[in-house]
């Protein structure tokens, strides 16, 4: 069965933000009792994946998310209900006390949560078999692509994935920027763990902060949060 572990966050991360890593067990079955908390709709969604690994990733992250939310809400995991907002970003159907975001890739998933602000998270696997060059125009600003071209091959790969996870975490925090694509943000070159938005900063990103975080070997990850807290 999958395991769930807390992930230490940078010291300057707000104390209300928490992060959890899920390590997948691909020999599990969707019929296992561990997945009993999933709704009928979630079971159906898992069943539509063509590959068993993809179904396990979705189901494992959703069960772990339900368990974390249920603990905070004081209810059973199967009782947690979700809705989609106007940007199709999931949120709790019966409460506005928690925000969350999830991501998964390869053998790992991440869950970010906060009781005070919006959060976003992304993890990507730097797989040797994936041609990251094929999506540079969808991911990088022209200045970033030009900067990467001057690096050696391994540094290019690392820089590309740093940019990818940072931009995904940023836009997932609001949900608004997704429609415009990732290339409207500029985060390279990287000079610290803090993500610095360069060039023009879009209005919806002016109150968002992000940090690259430690990830398993061959992975890149980033967490983002709103500096503005919820209005109750």
Closest CA to 2 of 22, 29, 19, 27: 22
Q: Is the pLDDT of residue 232 over 60?
A: no
Going by pLDDT thresholds of 50, 70 and 90, the confidence category of residue 128 is: confident
- pLDDT tens for 24-79 read 999 999 999 999 999 999 999 999 999 999 999 999 999 999 999 999 999 999 99
Per-domain boundaries in the chain = 3-116, 122-226
Query: How is domain 122-226 classified at the CATH fold level?
Result: Ribosomal Protein L22; Chain A (3.90.470)
Residue 106: CB atoms within 10 Å:
16
The Cα 104–Cα 123 span in angstroms is 6
pLDDT tens digit string along 7-37? Answer: 999 889 999 999 999 999 999 999 999 999 9
Measured between alpha carbons, how far apart are the two ends of the chain, in Å?
A: 38
3-116: CATH topology is Ribosomal Protein L22; Chain A (3.90.470)
Radius of gyration of the chain (CA): 18
Instruction: Assess whether the region 3-116 and the region 122-226 belong to the same CATH fold.
Output: yes
């Amino acid at each position: 069965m999958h395991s769930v572990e807390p992930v230490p966050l940078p010291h300057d991360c707000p104390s209300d933000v928490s992060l959890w890593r899920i390590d997948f067990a691909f020999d599990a079955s969707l019929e296992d009792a561990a997945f009993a908390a999933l709704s009928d709709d979630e079971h159906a969604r898992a069943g539509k994946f063509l590959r068993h690994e993809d179904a396990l990733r979705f189901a494992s992250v959703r069960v772990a998310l339900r368990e974390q939310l249920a603990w905070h809400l004081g209810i059973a995991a199967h009782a947690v209900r979700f809705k989609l907002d106007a940007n199709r970003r999931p949120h709790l159907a019966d409460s506005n006390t928690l925000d969350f975001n999830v991501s998964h890739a390869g053998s790992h998933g991440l869950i970010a949560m906060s009781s005070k602000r919006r959060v976003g998270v992304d993890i990507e696997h730097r797989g040797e078999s994936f041609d990251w060059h094929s999506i540079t125009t969808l991911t990088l600003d022209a200045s970033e692509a030009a900067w990467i071209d001057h690096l050696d091959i391994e540094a290019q790969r690392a820089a590309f994935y740093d940019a990818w996870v940072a931009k995904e975490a940023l836009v997932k925090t609001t949900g608004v920027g997704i429609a415009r694509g990732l290339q409207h943000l500029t985060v390279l070159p990287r000079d610290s763990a803090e993500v610095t938005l360069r060039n023009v900063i879009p209005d919806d990103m002016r109150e968002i902060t992000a940090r690259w975080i430690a990830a398993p070997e061959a992975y890149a990850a980033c967490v983002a949060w709103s500096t503005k807290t919820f209005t109750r």
